[in-house]
């Protein structure tokens, strides 16, 4: 998109200030959740703020359709932070938001999913607070909700999933420090964000801690987008299935994933005109085939 400009390392500070100082009346920063990609999953409030923003600072998971909702005069800045494609360090993003607001501009910081679910929204909020800049948060549909809805596999399900936990599969310094014995207990769903490359390690830790290797699992890539793919499997085969996949993906482990759509019913109302790709390992089906509402 031509309006989108990506600041190069050499002009990072210039992007924020453009020769201006601070304004008499500071602007405001909105931390806005853009949802998982499908523009129809955007909240009405998010859509209104995007259309009204003077500056939109967005990350790489925000879809093009959503960015096109910005006003023609808005300035769009991509601070994409995908692994191995870092554009701006988090501290610089914080400073950028504050600097624009101090110029009197209303800034939308547009983030994939929800700003407070593995989105570093908390750090941006604190930076604004420290600078005396008003900052409000607009929640978004986090990827786990879209992945589960698309697959028709609930994250909680009476008798099969009494809790759901969102964890990260990727820590800043190596392996995430998680309570594996707690996560290994049956009848709960574990959703792993940023876990595609650590799927083997995560599955190993869960099984070592006692989670049954036959527990249903699901990998969803590009949830809610036209190119969404779903890969039902088992915990024991999670790493094998994850290998070779790319793109934003969630790993979901739990008995309720037995309800995920398989080959034969792989359609999704209102979406995916290009057709859904479902790679299925049906090893778990016999063990969990009896699961339905009446048996819980
Ligand atoms: C930095 S986290 C941001 C999460 C985001 N704040 C949210 O609430 O969904 C990025 C990770 O979220 C997950 N993710 C985001 N969008 C996704 C999508 N459309 N489909 C599958 N996973 C997604 C992936 O695990 C990805 O690596």
Beta strand 216-221 with 249-253 is: antiparallel
Catalytic positions: 59, 81
Please report the DSSP string for 90-119 in residue order: HHHHHHHHHHHHHTT--EEEEESB-TTSSS
- Please state the domain extents for the chain: 4-138, 143-290
Nearest atom in ligand 1 to the alpha carbon of residue 81 is 1
Mean of the pLDDT values across residues 268-276?
A: 34
Spatial CB neighbours of 251, under 8 Å, sequence gap ≥ 6: 169, 191, 192, 195, 196, 199, 202, 217, 218, 219, 238, 242
Q: Tell me which CATH code domain 143-290 carries.
A: 3.30.950.10
Can you name the residues that pair with 165 across neighbouring β-strands? 190
Distance CA 36, CA 145 (A): 9
Q: What is the pLDDT of residues 93-149, one digit of tens each?
A: 999 999 999 999 999 999 999 999 999 999 999 999 999 999 999 999 999 999 999
Q: What pLDDT, on a 0 to 100 scale, did the predictor assign at position 81?
A: 56
CA diameter of the chain = 68
What's this model's pTM, rounded to 2 decimal places? 0.84
Question: What is the CB < 6 Å shell around ligand 1?
Answer: 36-37, 61, 111-114, 117-119, 142-143, 147, 193-194, 220, 222-225, 248-250
Q: What is the pLDDT of residues 148-205, one digit of tens each?
A: 999 999 999 999 999 999 999 987 777 899 999 999 999 999 999 999 999 999 999 9
Q: What pLDDT, on a 0 to 100 scale, did the predictor assign at position 261?
A: 82
Total residues found in the chain within this entry: 296
Q: What pLDDT, on a 0 to 100 scale, did the predictor assign at position 22?
A: 62
170 phi and psi, to 5 degrees? -140, 105
Q: What pLDDT, on a 0 to 100 scale, did the predictor assign at position 61?
A: 86
Residue 82 pLDDT grade (very low, low, confident, very high; cuts 50, 70, 90): low
Does 282 have pLDDT greater than 90? Answer: no
CATH number assigned to the domain with residue range 4-138, chosen from the 4 options 3.30.360.10, 1.10.357.10, 3.40.50.150, 3.40.1010.10: 3.40.1010.10
CA of 135 to the centre of ligand 1 (A): 23
Spatial CB neighbours of 107, under 8 Å, sequence gap ≥ 6: 27, 28, 29, 30, 53, 54, 55, 56, 57, 97, 100, 101
Percent of the chain clearing pLDDT 90 (strictly above): 72
């Amino acid at each position: 998109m031509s309006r989108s400009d990506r600041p190069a390392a050499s002009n990072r500070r210039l992007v924020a200030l453009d020769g201006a100082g601070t304004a008499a009346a500071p602007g405001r920063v909105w931390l806005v959740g853009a949802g998982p990609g499908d523009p129809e999953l955007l909240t009405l409030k998010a859509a209104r703020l995007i259309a009204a923003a003077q500056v939109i600072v967005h990350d790489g998971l925000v879809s093009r359709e959503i960015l096109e909702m910005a006003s023609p005069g808005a300035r769009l800045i991509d601070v994409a932070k995908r692994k191995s494609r870092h554009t701006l360090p988090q501290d610089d993003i914080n400073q950028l938001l504050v600097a624009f607001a101090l110029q009197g501009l209303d800034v939308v910081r547009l983030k994939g999913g929800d700003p407070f679910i593995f989105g570093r929204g908390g750090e941006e909020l604190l930076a604004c607070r420290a600078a005396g800049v008003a900052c409000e948060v607009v929640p978004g549909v986090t990827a786990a909700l879209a992945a589960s809805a698309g697959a028709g596999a609930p994250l909680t399900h009476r008798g099969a999933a009494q809790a759901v936990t969102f964890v990260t599969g990727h820590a800043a310094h190596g392996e995430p420090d998680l309570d594996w014995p707690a996560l290994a207990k049956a009848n709960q769903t574990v959703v792993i964000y940023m876990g595609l490359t650590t799927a083997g390690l995560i599955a190993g830790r869960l099984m070592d801690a006692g989670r049954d290797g036959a527990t249903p699992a699901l990998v969803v890539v590009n949830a809610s987008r036209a190119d969404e793919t779903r890969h039902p499997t088992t915990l024991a085969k999670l790493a094998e299935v994850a290998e070779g996949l790319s793109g934003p993906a969630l790993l979901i482990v739990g008995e309720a994933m037995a309800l995920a759509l398989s080959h034969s019913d792989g359609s999704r109302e209102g979406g995916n005109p290009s057709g859904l790709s479902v790679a299925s390992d049906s090893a778990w089906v016999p063990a969990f085939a009896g699961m339905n509402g009446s048996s819980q």
